[in-house]
Chains A and B, each alone.
Chain A
Amino acid sequence: MMQSQKEKAELIREISGVNPSKCMKCGKCSASCPSFQEMDIKPHQFVSYVLHEDIDALLESKSLWKCLSCFACVERCPRDVKPGKLIDAARQMVIRQKGADYLSADEIPELLDPELPQQLLVSAFRRYRR
């Protein structure tokens, strides 16, 4: 069953336990974020995307996979909005929703990178394949 944007936004709020209306748009999250440059949708924008129920854009965004889950934004958010939790929830949704393989064995050789710990690939493979 296809979910509406509204339902998806509800789901993100539910999973994250975050009320995006509490945001005062100070930008502390984006100011703290170490992955800011890599992200297409910036941490502070994440909050307004959820608020405006523009969820599909979030689910397709690069930011989901660029967020390091360092939780600097969660720690420092003065309004208890904690954008990192929203990003985490969106990531969960993608993982739950598709039910498809995210990582197939064929892709792994391409991903190999001397700087990337192999352990990471192994655990990712375990987690994200069917």
Chain B
Amino acid sequence: MQRIGVFVCHCGSNIAATVDVKKVVEMAALEPGVVHAEDYQYMCSEAGQAKIDAAIKEKNLTGIVVCSCSPRMHETTFRNAAKRAGLNPYMVEIANIREHCSWIHKNMEEATKKAVILARAAIAKVSLNTPLQQGESRVTKRALVIGGGIAGIQTALDIAEAGYEVDIVEKTPSIGGRMSQLDKTFPTLDCSACILTPKMVEASAHEKINIYTYSEVEKVSGFVGDFTVDIRKKARSVNMDKCTGCGVCQEKCPSKKTPNEFNRGLNTRSAIYTPFAQAIPNVPVIDREHCTKFKTGKCGVCAKVCQAGAIEYDQQDEIVTEKYGAIVVATGFDVIKLDQYDEYAYSQSPDVITSLELERIMNAAGPTKGHLERISDHKAPKNMVFIQCVGSRCADKRGKSYCSKICCMYTAKHAMLIRDKYPDVNVTVFYIDVRTPGKNFDEFYRRAVEEYGVNYIKGQVGKVAPQPNGQLLVQGVDLIDNKQILMEADMVVLAAAIEPNKDVRKIATMLTASIDTNNFLTEAHPKLRPVESPTAGVFLSGVCQGPKDIPETVAQAGAAAVKAIGLLAKDKLLTNPCTAKSDELLCNGCSTCANVCPYGAISYIDKEVNDHGIRETRHFAQVNSALCQGCGACTVACPSGAMDLQGFSNRQIIAEVDAICR
């Protein structure tokens, strides 16, 4: 018979205000096997843990139930406390009477009743618990970073500096990401390329960093410490070792009609191209979809002009398989599509642009060589209107529910830069709120208003109508003056919402990392584990986790690197002992479990058995406990009840249900 102790936590008033804690103690003490029950204000505190320690020792407890917050919060805390007191840590059960009870109920009587039931279920379960031992698994001392923007580069550099090998996988032909498209950065107005390119060079020159550009992650298997990843290196059609980066091929390429992605489609590029002049590696790729040679078989100009003989039309995609201990996701963002926002005439007028397009226009290496001009007629604008929150903070289906966070600041930056360089241009900004939390951020915004004379109007724009004379008629509202405004503008700039890169869903699925309804990767804990995914060994860097600016991204990239280093520094990892196990006497070898196992942890062995004198060979399921993540899919699927999850056995679950229904 087990000797069970029950510990009920008040969690300050979090639990105690809604649940009669004393009553829970009283009722729990009546349960079979319970020899000790008490409550305390904060069970997780040192004093609370000391109470658990003392009770285990004094009363010779064989199992404990802690009625407190979610096991996601403090299960480890209480398991460690039990371990220190000499109890097997898997003899601890948590009854979640906070998230599952006190926080969601108002009526004390009802909530108390439910808390008692939850405690009862946990007691029933712990009565059937058996001590479990953790196994060990090895750690591959190499990290994978998915995405080669500033987040990925910084994470890779930090991990490499700690002495570990890092691979960066970047989808586009060059590392650099969004930051390489920016002109200046707020609030210091330093040139984006000037601070980014040295980091790109550092990453590519680092002996511990290996960069796969024009490559994508294709398949991920394994688990924390021991991931196996297939990387598809897309055919570049240019030999990376032979190419000298002279650029003649790009100059001579006759098909120059492809929209230039790097310049957001504001101009065109050749079919063989590097995205930008400072690209790393400085080796072009052939865009096979737009290359005449690949479309018609006739051309081959690039191969003729290449002095180095680097052009290889017959290159094939290549799959590289690597092992990694840790994976960092740094897939970044894109701006939303604006086809749902007809009222801003984005698709009707080339002079209605997004802020990222303006960024390219302002950039000296951009389509207009940094000269501020209208895309339609190359005329210098006299009046510019900026519209904030396009697709951000929307409750409707057109936009995103969240604030994109960076738009207020980059708009202030754009407005300020334009007023500085072209003082005769009138700049009007329509805003809902100006949000500038950050070091020197509000001062920056105020400077735009006070020193640079940017006209900020509290209100939104209802309509942008292109006029026959090429002007844009802007109808907006000034909520402070309570007046509707009708003004003509030469250019309208939309602060479009940002969203996670569209490929993140695919990557999250491969990694079994969770994502939220907006496709941002979910962190293991919103406050205390902000750079870790709930999936062990997967870390988050940059905007893939939520909107953020460059300094925040770099800080998070470093934090993700530290977490990855912390993992790589270990030689062995303790594995979760709550894995599946098959009962050879019941297993009929049907392979249903192997079919449902998402981790490929189940294999089959043939074993000779002696069944009442008849010798025969039988087929049994066998679980690789290093691969098994304890999801329990096999236990549900098994038709003969042979598969059981240790720590969550069928008997334990039934006992819990019985206790609830009693």
Contact = CB atoms under 8 A, between A and B. Distances in A.
B482 interface: yes
A32 B459 CA distance: 11
Contacts of B461: 28, 31
Interface stretch (A57-65, A70-78, A89-97, A116-124): A70-78
B462 interface: yes
A44 interface: yes
Given A24-B432, A25-B432, A26-B432, A31 B394 contact: no
A31 B462 contact: yes
B394 A76 contact: no
A94 B460 CA distance: 30
Contacts of B482: 42, 45
A27 B460 contact: yes
Interface size grouping (class) on chain B? 20 to 34
B476 A31 contact: yes
Given A31-B462, A31-B475, A72-B462, A36 B396 contact: no
Contacts, number: 67
Given A24-B393, A30-B479, A78 B484 contact: no
Interface in A20-46: 22, 24-33, 36-37, 42, 44-45
Nearest to A79: B395
A77 B389 CA distance: 13
Given A37-B484, A44-B477, A31 B459 contact: yes
A29 B462 CA distance: 7
B343 interface: yes
Nearest to B458: A27
Contact of B460 (A31, A36, A37, A80): A31
Chain A CB within 10 Å, residue with most, of B396, B463, B479, B484? B484
A5 to B, nearest CB: 23
Interface string B94-121: 0000000000000000000000000000
Contacts of B463: 31-32
B395 A80 contact: yes
A72 B477 CA distance: 14
Nearest to A73: B462
B396 A27 contact: no
B343 A32 contact: yes
B462 A44 contact: no
A41 to B, nearest CB: 10
A76 B341 CA distance: 9
B459 A78 contact: no
A77 to B, nearest CB: 7
Contacts of A45: 482
A80 B432 contact: no
A57 B315 CA distance: 75
A76 B389 CA distance: 13
Contact of A33 (B458, B459, B484): B484
Nearest to B476: A31
Contacts of A22: 395
A28 B484 CA distance: 11
Contacts of B476: 27, 31
A25 B479 contact: yes
B399 interface: yes
Interface in B328-369: 343
A78 B462 contact: no
A33 B484 CA distance: 9
A103 B462 CA distance: 35
A31 B482 CA distance: 10
Contacts of A44: 477, 479
B479 A78 contact: no
Interface of B: 343, 389, 393-396, 398-399, 432, 458-463, 475-477, 479, 482, 484
Interface of A: 22, 24-33, 36-37, 42, 44-45, 72, 76-80
8 contacts: A27-B460, A30-B479, A31-B461, A32-B475, A44-B479, A76-B343, A78-B399, A80-B395
Given A26-B432, A26-B460, A44-B479, 9 more contacts: A25-B432, A26-B389, A26-B459, A27-B458, A28-B460, A31-B460, A31-B463, A44-B477, A77-B396
